Amino acid sequence: MASAPSPTVPDEALRPATVDLDAVERADVVVVGAGPGGAATAAHLARRGRDVVLLDKESFPRDKVCGDGLTPRVVRELLDLGLVDEATGRSDGWATQKGLRIHGGRTVMELPWPQLDDWPAWGATASRRVFDATIAGAAVRSGARLASGVSVTGPVWRDATETRAAGVAWRSEDEDGTIREGVVRAPVVIAADGPGSIMAKRLGVERSATRPMAVGVRSYYRSRRWDDEWISSFLNLTDADGGLLSGYGWIFPLDDGTLNVGLGLLSTSREFRGTNYRRMLSAWAGGMAEEWDTTEEHHVGPVLSGPIPMGFNRVPLHQRGVLLVGDAGGMVNPFNGEGISYAMEAGRLAADVVDRALTTRRTADLDAYDLELRRRWGGYYRLGHVFAELVGNPTVMHVCTEYGMPYRQLMELVLKLMAHLTDGSPADGKDVVINTLQRLAPAA
């Protein structure tokens, strides 16, 4: 079996500097959650000269349930933060890929990432253990103050009317069991605390039952194909006996000699509730063992699962001085289950809006965040909702892949649509079609 080109990034390299929160009383902005969305928000705000406190309930390095795939949309955000080399894309613990290999029906097709003016033409993979620590480290180097191992229990209010948040209350437990509690005051709060967002719940912002959800489950396998130049997407899932399974699958090669192997099941599928996701993943992986080394012998680490909130399933995205970023606002792309790029893009926009609002000192100016995100992605997410309804039926997906997959021009259009990669002023007819559909669709 092939060995990895470099050792796994050591833990000490993935521990951003932290502060003692007992000594922190106030800031310009408090960011709850130091995942990609929260850390990117903190980095952008700190680079604008704002005093930012970044809180996370876990300590780095930490793991997350994710496919570990970084599309060209993510790469653009990383380039903007100066975290990867534009020429090579290399960074410790990262691998780069040229495009997507789609498996559907009896067809396997390799599609390079499109050559566009607005987006890079390459993607990457990195474990969340490496990726999250990288973005959090960028925030700290930019001037943000990071406190980890801290649970936020909710907002604190400016007055008894609870019409405006004025910071957050926090709680932590030391190694000796000592409980510490405190408050960090700030005129603006960013809630980037994931799909189970405590901040959103305390604000009374509930998930919308009309927006799609999914469950993702993944594990790692050591494989001779760790250095594959393509990430793989599977539009039809079958078990070892050839039986048809609901959902979509992925295999993403990583720089440490492993593959991230996972699948997602949409809430529009009849099997969404009551499915044993770990057993489903094992059955699917077992059916590919000869080609991908996905056997128990090569299995590395636990099988983990988690929710994937899609298409703005929590709105409004601004309420009472708190902005929802990433999974806290349900920003995952309904077409492909990718959420990192949207969290980071939302973080960059949030930094712009918050920076202006701190200057004008008007809470109402924060509403621009919600309005602009709906303008950018609302129509696209609405199309994704329709797509999710269709592909939740494995028979429909089977027919689409069986008869649509052999046509390369069609699949190039599908890749651009599902990966949300078009130019703003396109000359390509595929871009015109996709952009027109987004514009005509009612905003989600």
Q: In what order do the strands lie in the sheet with 258-266?
A: 107-112, 99-104, 230-234, 248-253, 258-266, 213-222, 299-309
Fold of 11-97+125-208+312-379: FAD/NAD(P)-binding domain (3.50.50)
Distance CA 109, CA 408 (A): 8
pLDDT score of 88: 57
Three-state secondary structure call for residue 23: helix
Q: Three-state SS across 357-385?
A: HHHHCCHHHHHHHHHHHHHHHHHHHHHHH
Written as one letter, the residue type at 81 is L
154: alpha, beta or left? (left if phi > 0; alpha if psi -120 to 50): left
pLDDT score of 406: 85
pLDDT score of 243: 64
Pair 428, 436: CB distance under 8 Å: no
Helix residue ranges per DSSP H, 15-106: 36-47, 72-80
Nearest 5°: phi and psi at 214?
A: -145, 165
Distance CA 228, CA 95 (A): 9
pLDDT score of 6: 45
pLDDT score of 397: 72
pLDDT score of 336: 92
- Those residues with Cβ within 8 angstroms of residue 125's Cβ, 6 or more apart along the chain or in another chain: 68, 69, 70, 94, 95, 96, 97, 231, 252, 253, 254, 255, 260
Place of tokens 């393509």: 230
pLDDT score of 5: 39
Whether pTM > 0.85 for this model: the answer is yes
**Share of the chain residues as helix, strand and coil, in percent rounded to the nearest 5:** 35, 25, 40
Pair 188, 28: CB distance under 8 Å: yes
Distance CA 133, CA 259 (A): 20
Three-state secondary structure call for residue 91: coil
Number of H helices, E strands in the chain: 11, 21
User: Domain limits of the chain?
Assistant: 11-97+125-208+312-379
pLDDT score of 1: 39
Is the bond into 316 cis (omega within 30 degrees of 0)? yes
Written as six digits, the tokens of 211 are 């927006």
pLDDT score of 236: 77
pLDDT score of 87: 56
Distance CA 398, CA 402 (A): 6
Place of tokens 């008869």: 403
Burial group, residue 403, by CB count within 10 angstroms (0-12, 13-18, 19+): exposed
Distance CA 182, CA 226 (A): 46
Place of tokens 């959650």: 33
Gyration radius of the chain's alpha carbons: 21
**Closest by Cα among 173, 172, 78 to 132:** 78
Is the bond into 61 cis (omega within 30 degrees of 0)? yes
DSSP letter for 99, please. E
- Those residues with Cβ within 8 angstroms of residue 175's Cβ, 6 or more apart along the chain or in another chain: none
pLDDT score of 110: 97
Distance CA 428, CA 334 (A): 24
| Greatest Cα pair distance in the chain | 64
* Residue ranges for the chain with pLDDT beneath 70: 1-8, 86-90, 238-246, 394
Distance CA 218, CA 251 (A): 10
